Amino acid sequence: MKITIAQLNPTIGDLSRNAQEILRVAKQAGEAGADLLLTPELSLCGYSPRDLLLDSSFIETIAQTLDQLAADLPPALAVLVGTVAQNERSAQAGEKPLFNSTALLSQGKVQQVFHKRLLPTYDVFDEDRYFEPGEEANTFTLQGVRIGVTICEDLWNDEEFWGKRSYGVNPIADLAAQGVNLVINLSASPYTVGKQRVREAMLQHSARRYDRPMIYANQVGGNDDLIFDGSSFAVNRQGEVVCRAKAFEADGVTIEFDTVAQDLRPGSIAAAVESADAEIWAALVLGVRDYARKCGFTQVVLGLSGGIDSALVAAIGAAALGAKNVLGVLMPSPYSSDHSITDALELAKNLGINTQTLPIAEVMQSYDRTLNDLFTGTTSGIAEENIQSRIRGNLLMAIANKFGHLLLSTGNKSEMAVGYCTLYGDMNGGLATIADVPKTRVYSLCHWLNNHAQLAFGKPLSEPSTEMIPKNILTKAPSAELKPGQVDQDSLPDYDILDEILERLIQRHESPAQIIQAGHGAEVVNRVTKLVTRAEFKRRQAPPGLKITDRAFGTGWRMPIAKRW
């Protein structure tokens, strides 16, 4: 039996186009002799539609689109399509109105509907907000093979693997008890650094534990802050990876289930991504490309300061949309160093992106004069520094508005954490490209990029030995250049120390006391903790930031602002 994984990149809510895409790959798969086609979780509406699920017309249109798709598909091909289903018992039983479901389509009809049983409600996930958990183990039989259907989180509760339970039931155990021959999983599992290794280890464990082969079909593509990495794969009964689709791009792979051996045969295995830097690079490029495309932008603009953050974002933008579709704007002030200009121009030349230079001294002076009477007798400080940053933010937005470009903001996670950024200034943008990338990782990504420029840009470069990120950008001391001689470390601890404290605080949920016990100085830990708390009001107003870690500031970070803790 031939099973094809359609690793699709749906657009949220674009039901007709998503259905057309399923139809297109189904026809291809049917012609290639496939018996079963797998599509990701909620493949018809894209994951996650979030509050679109509260609109009844959205739910009705999904149902209509599903029926039409069933009628249009090749009748002999069985297709699993991710969809939502009404919970008819909702009002009577006091249950949620919907299920997160997968429909089995064949012979022109919806044959069966399977409901997701484990509903993630943590981090960026809000499934309890919309869905009732399914109560039954989901199976169907195709050509005599009993197939167990699970949806994403349904696989993530193996208490042996995790050392604890996160839900009361384990759907795989139920399916094994029912004697299925094969377990498939339809996912929309967002990327975080190193997650694919965890997924494969987890399925390898479960396959061996239950002596069942498993196929994992994941969504790919960027949807707002979430980047889905694809990397669909399959493991045989021995827990060996027998098939893997590409990471970070749409793909289709076919696997054979041997009905005699009751196991999957070896298939094509795409190479795993070689390093964390390579993964993150690919994720961010996909995130920018899809956010732009799905919002209708073809060109991006960003401020080029001559610093490393904007250098990385410019490179990501060039890889995502093509260098000619990137405009870097240099906005020197009287406090800008000469190298801020020369470095930015060299970077732009290396990347092949367009530039504009707009000095801001005159606008600064006009603000100074406007505020002169009111500010008489005060000391120049944060207010004045922020004005500079906001002038730049305004100029960038003016360009974005005038030419229909998407403004990419360039702040990194370390800055966003401690508030070393200006609200309505350098935080401006439609997408915060590297808002989940700590400063130390920004450096390592830039070094990686210089060593893998050809891989990073997906095509032979005319001069592959070029340093994409100029050496001076990599070696000079980071500075906001908002006053003479300023460097980041006037205000912040060294970035390697800061980033470790931040990781403990944010990702590992450690308390200041625990971090101090781990060897960090009490003064610096308490100062950083206070900065993180105080910057909450800025983060609340930040653009969506591409998520690459287990805990990003964004939809999965829900912190009160007016608080004392």
Interaction between residue 31 and a copy of itself (CB under 8 A): no
* Phi and psi at residue 174, to the nearest 5°: -65, -40
**How far is C-alpha 304 from the chain's CA centre?**
24
How far is residue 265's CA from residue 237's CA, in Å, rounded to a whole number? Answer: 10
Cβ neighbours around 562 below 10 Å, total: 6
Query: Cβ 396 to a copy of itself, closest distance in Å?
Result: 10
Interaction between residue 436 and a copy of itself (CB under 8 A): no
Interaction between residue 57 and a copy of itself (CB under 8 A): yes
Q: Compare residues 221 and 438 and give the one whose CB is closer to a copy of itself.
A: 221
Which of 21, 127, 132, 152 is an active site residue?
A: 152
Which residue carries 């001294």 as its tokens? 361
Interaction between residue 330 and a copy of itself (CB under 8 A): no
Q: Are 495 and 439 in contact (CB under 8 A)?
A: yes
How far is residue 189's CA from residue 287's CA, in Å, rounded to a whole number? Answer: 14
Handedness of CA 217, 551, 122, 48 (dihedral sign): negative
Q: Compare residues 262 and 355 and give the one whose CB is closer to a copy of itself.
A: 355
How far is residue 60's CA from residue 525's CA, in Å, rounded to a whole number? Answer: 52
Query: Cβ 7 to a copy of itself, closest distance in Å?
Result: 19
Of 122, 238, 518, 523, the residue at the interface with a copy of itself (CB under 8 A) is 122
Interaction between residue 336 and a copy of itself (CB under 8 A): no
Interaction between residue 161 and a copy of itself (CB under 8 A): no
Which residue carries 């950083």 as its tokens? 528
For a copy of itself (CB under 8 A), the number of binding residues is 96
Cis peptide before 414 (omega within 30 of 0): no
Pairing, β 233-235 against β 241-244? antiparallel
Q: What is the DSSP string of 525-545?
A: HHHHHHHHHHTHHHHHTSPPB
Of 145, 270, 345, 397, the residue at the interface with a copy of itself (CB under 8 A) is 397
DSSP-derived secondary structure letter, 127: G
Q: Compare residues 94 and 484 and give the one whose CB is closer to a copy of itself.
A: 94
41 noted as active-site residue: yes
How far is residue 546's CA from residue 301's CA, in Å, rounded to a whole number? Answer: 17
Interaction between residue 17 and a copy of itself (CB under 8 A): yes
295 noted as active-site residue: no
200 noted as active-site residue: no
Query: Cβ 555 to a copy of itself, closest distance in Å?
Result: 7
At residue 262, the 3 state secondary structure works out as coil
Cα–Cα distances (Å) from 182 to 140, 142, 161, in that order, read: 10, 11, 20
Question: Which part of the chain contacts a copy of itself (CB under 8 A), choosing from 90-98, 191-199, 458-466, 492-500?
Answer: 90-98
Which of 116, 294, 413, 547 is an active site residue?
A: 116
Residues 484-543 that bind a copy of itself (CB under 8 A): 509, 511, 513-514, 537, 540-543
Of 423, 502, 525, 546, the residue at the interface with a copy of itself (CB under 8 A) is 423
Interaction between residue 133 and a copy of itself (CB under 8 A): no
How far is residue 407's CA from residue 178's CA, in Å, rounded to a whole number? Answer: 53
Helix (H) or strand (E) holding 375: helix 361-375
Interaction between residue 92 and a copy of itself (CB under 8 A): yes
Of 344, 360, 435, 552, the residue at the interface with a copy of itself (CB under 8 A) is 360
Query: Cβ 537 to a copy of itself, closest distance in Å?
Result: 6
Ranges assigned E (strand) in 430-548: 431-432
How far is residue 111's CA from residue 92's CA, in Å, rounded to a whole number? Answer: 26
Residues 366-395 that bind a copy of itself (CB under 8 A): 366-367, 369-371, 374-375, 378, 382-384, 386-387, 390-391, 393-395
Of 20, 31, 33, 56, the residue at the interface with a copy of itself (CB under 8 A) is 56
Residue type, 348: A
Interaction between residue 12 and a copy of itself (CB under 8 A): yes
Question: Which part of the chain contacts a copy of itself (CB under 8 A), choosing from 69-77, 139-147, 259-267, 356-364?
Answer: 356-364
Residues 544-563 that bind a copy of itself (CB under 8 A): 544, 555, 557-563
Residues 257-316 that bind a copy of itself (CB under 8 A): 290-291, 294-295
Cα torsion 506, 510, 514, 518 to 10°: value is: -60
Interaction between residue 228 and a copy of itself (CB under 8 A): no
Which residues, other chains included, contact 64 with Cβ-Cβ below 8 Å and sequence gap of 6+? none
**Residues catalogued as catalytic:** 41, 116, 152
